[in-house]
Structure 1
Amino acid sequence: MHNPSQQTPTSASLTESIIAALALVREQKPLVVNITNYVVMNNTANALLAIGASPIMAHSRQEMAEMMHIARSLVINIGTLDSEWIERMLFAVEQANANNKPIVLDPVGCGASVLRTQTARTLAAKANNLIIRGNASEIIALAGEASQTKGVDALDSSDTALAAAQALVTQYHANVVISGEVDYVVTASQTISLSNGHHMMPYVTGMGCSLTALTGAFAAIGETSGLAATAIYAIAGEIAAEQSAGPASLQLNIIDGLYHISAEQICQRLNMDVVA
């Protein structure tokens, strides 16, 4: 039930919180452990470095307990999944829970195979302090509904995944980011839409994976809604697209955009609505 004594965040206050979170990431340079896929390791590490965080791609079970003791967050991306990696991911979640560290789960290709769907659900069920970041089809499939997917590509629009996202928030006590032409950030208390970014971004591999990694950086400093990472990454992509001839240059320019993005650019460009 809504408590009238609690102020509903406005777009202005949310913008201020995004800018403050960016400053904190750049100041604190949090260590983010990534168990991610072979395709995007370089991309996601560079994105984290550009925003000011400190990435480590740690996949060995032998060092995971130590890593999660010193790291500030854990990112798990199931893009290149196999049985050995699943065991490592489960152990990493246990260690993150034991150290009270936030966990960001990217259920890549959830719905495309039984293995991916079951693994994503198992990881989500085991994780405390969870943020889920996926495309619409992945979010719908993770919630147990019928989705349209082609491998790791979404065939559903992000707005059709809102009910599924709200179900995941309730089921896993998680916050959920739905990526798409319009991005949505769904928490127990609010739903926010973001209409930044550029239509060229889906033509570069690892765009969503990089957003997942950045979500881990912001979670590391306490911004666990996913809002700051989603807003900043979309704006960086929008700026980069204006300077890019195609997907190859866009990939490079997004890294530069993350490195240079300013409070002024966020204020000028952020296209955000509090939906509920």
Structure 2
Amino acid sequence: MEILKEISKLLSGVREKKPLIHNITNYVTVNDCANIILALGGSPVMADDIDEVEEMTSIASSLVINIGTLNSRTIEPMIRAGKKANEAGIPVIFDPVGIGATTLRTKTAERLINEVKFSVIRGNMSEIKILAGIDARIKGVDSTEGTHGGEEIALSLAMRLGSVIAITGAKDIISDGKRLCTIENGHKMLSMVTGTGCMSTCLIGTYSGVTNDYYLSAAAGILTMGLAGEKAYKSLRKGEGTGTFRMRLFDSIYNLSEGDIMEGGRVYEKQD
């Protein structure tokens, strides 16, 4: 498939260029996010102080904003970094973790979308539905929604916001408002390890640092996590569980090859 060839090229591009990825992310998953970027071949930096975010963003290849552990101190730095990235033509990737769970999260996400142009927005079905103005159920930061109707939501929201929309779940859905694909890689154990969604967003950010096609970088990041989840699960022996699985996610991404993508990728593009 052509899209798998293009994703394979992006993997090579990341490892050749080692893009600097600036993350303003949550402290539950910050270490894993840094290590997943390194495993793929990028270079992570985590800087959220208001006195340095603009300067750090200006030298980055992409910016990832994640509101997982939202607090009032980091809201303004997120806005300033996002605006600086927009001015410099640097892609911004947004992870609206837990939007809808509290008023602060919802209002902050709305403000970010109003003031910052995002290249990619990645969330679970509940989060994307809430961004689209559709009633959805959410449990803390976890989705309780299936992916029914997700393709139409992704297409329409992408057109409205001018951003690539990536919905992750049992079946992943990505659209830029014109193109749409679904991805059927992954394993249910990914949902049993905290931070796999955040890490997926960071993988998208890393791929976005080496291309201007953010539909493709979104698909690449999500496919990479799905393939790594499958490989990590298959490696488990009797008596090993989520701790070993988490560790082997990093190994699987570090060892991911173009051949793995071509042979194992289950990406299906929808034709007009």
Report the TM-score range of the alignment, normalised by the length of the smaller protein: over 0.9
Instruction: Show CA shifts across 1:46-67 (max 9, x none).
Output: 0000000000011111112211
Is the contact made by 1:145 and 1:164 (CA closer than 8 Å) also made in structure 2?
A: no
Amino acid at match of 2:248: N
1:27 aligns with 2:16: yes
Among 50, 55, 60, the residue aligned to 2:44: 55
1:161 matched residue in structure 2: 150
1:112 CA displacement:
1.1
1:246 matched residue in structure 2: 241
1:69 CA displacement:
1.5
TM-score by length of 1: 0.93
2:257 matched residue in structure 1: 262
1:129 CA displacement:
4.6
Amino acid at match of 2:105: R
* Long gaps (5+) in structure 1: 1-11
Instruction: Show CA shifts across 1:96-133 (max 9, x none).
Output: 11111100000000111121112112212222252000
Q: Percent identity?
A: 37
Among 72, 81, 102, the residue aligned to 2:70: 81
2:181 matched residue in structure 1: 192
Is the contact made by 1:131 and 1:224 (CA closer than 8 Å) also made in structure 2?
A: yes
SS for the counterpart of 2:214 is coil
1:36 matched residue in structure 2: 25
1:159 CA displacement:
3.6
Is the contact made by 1:134 and 1:177 (CA closer than 8 Å) also made in structure 2?
A: yes
Amino acid at match of 1:195: E
Is the contact made by 1:53 and 1:217 (CA closer than 8 Å) also made in structure 2?
A: yes
Among 224, 231, 234, the residue aligned to 2:226: 234
Deviates more, 1:163-172 or 1:193-202: 163-172
Instruction: Show CA shifts across 1:233-259 (max 9, x none).
Output: 110111111113321111100000000
SS for the counterpart of 1:264 is helix
SS for the counterpart of 1:105 is strand
Alignment of 1:92-103 (within 5 A): 92-103=81-92
TM-score by length of 2: 0.94
The 2-side partners of 1:26 and 1:125 are apart by 34
SS for the counterpart of 1:61 is coil
SS for the counterpart of 2:65 is strand
1:224 matched residue in structure 2: 214
* Long gaps (5+) in structure 2: none
SS for the counterpart of 2:97 is coil
Amino acid at match of 2:222: T
Deviates more, 1:175-184 or 1:241-250: 241-250
The 2-side partners of 1:88 and 1:150 are apart by 27
The 2-side partners of 1:98 and 1:61 are apart by 17
